[in-house]
Amino acid sequence: MKETLRRRISDLRAGRESERDFLAFLQNFPFSNETHIKLDFHRKLRRGIPEVIFGQGKSAEQLQRIVKKFIEVGEDILITRIDRERFAALSKDFPGLRYHAAARIITSLRQPRIKNKGKILVLSAGASDEKVAEEAYVSSLYLGNRTDREYDVGVACLARILSLQKKLNRYTVIIAVAGMEGALPSVVAGLTSTPIIAVPTSVGYGANFGGLSALLSMLNSCAGGISVVNIDNGFGAAYQATLINQKGSR
Q: Considering only residues 174 through 203, tell me which ones interact with its own copies, judged by CB under 8 A.
A: 180-183, 186-187, 189-195, 197, 200, 202-203
Cα–Cα distance for residue pair 70/210, rounded to 1 Å: 34
Is residue 19 involved in binding its own copies (CB under 8 A)? no
Among 1, 5, 49, 71, binds its own copies (CB under 8 A): 49
Site for its own copies, residues 56 to 95, rule: CB under 8 A: 56-58, 62
Is residue 8 involved in binding its own copies (CB under 8 A)? no
- Region near its own copies per CB under 8 A, out of 1-9, 10-18, 23-31, 105-113: 23-31
Is residue 219 involved in binding its own copies (CB under 8 A)? yes
Is residue 224 involved in binding its own copies (CB under 8 A)? yes
Site string (103-142) toward its own copies, x via CB under 8 A: ---------------x------xxxx-x------------
Among 30, 71, 108, 146, binds its own copies (CB under 8 A): 30
Query: In angstroms, what is the minimal distance from the CB of 20 to its own copies?
Result: 16
Among 8, 43, 98, 146, binds its own copies (CB under 8 A): 43
Among 12, 97, 164, 244, binds its own copies (CB under 8 A): 244
Q: Based on CB atoms, which residue is closest to its own copies, 87 or 122? A: 122
Among 5, 97, 155, 164, binds its own copies (CB under 8 A): 155
Contact 26, 49 (CB under 8 A): no
Q: What is the 3-state secondary structure (H, E, C) of the chain?
A: CHHHHHHHHHHHHCCCCCHHHHHHHHHHCCCEECCCCEECCCHHHHHCCCCCEECCCCCHHHHHHHHHHHHHHCCCCEEECCCHHHHHHHHHHCCCEEEECCCCEEEECCCCCCCCCCEEEEEECCHHHHHHHHHHHHHHHHCCCEEEEECCCCHHHHHHHHCCHHHHCCCCEEEEEECCCCCHHHHHHCCCCCCEEEEECCCCCHHHHHHHHHHHHHHCCCCCCEEECCCCCHHHHHHHHHHHHHHHHC
Q: Taking the alpha carbons of 128, 134, 137, 139 in that order, is the dihedral positive or negative? A: negative
Q: Based on CB atoms, which residue is closest to its own copies, 60 or 223? A: 223
Among 86, 99, 141, 211, binds its own copies (CB under 8 A): 211
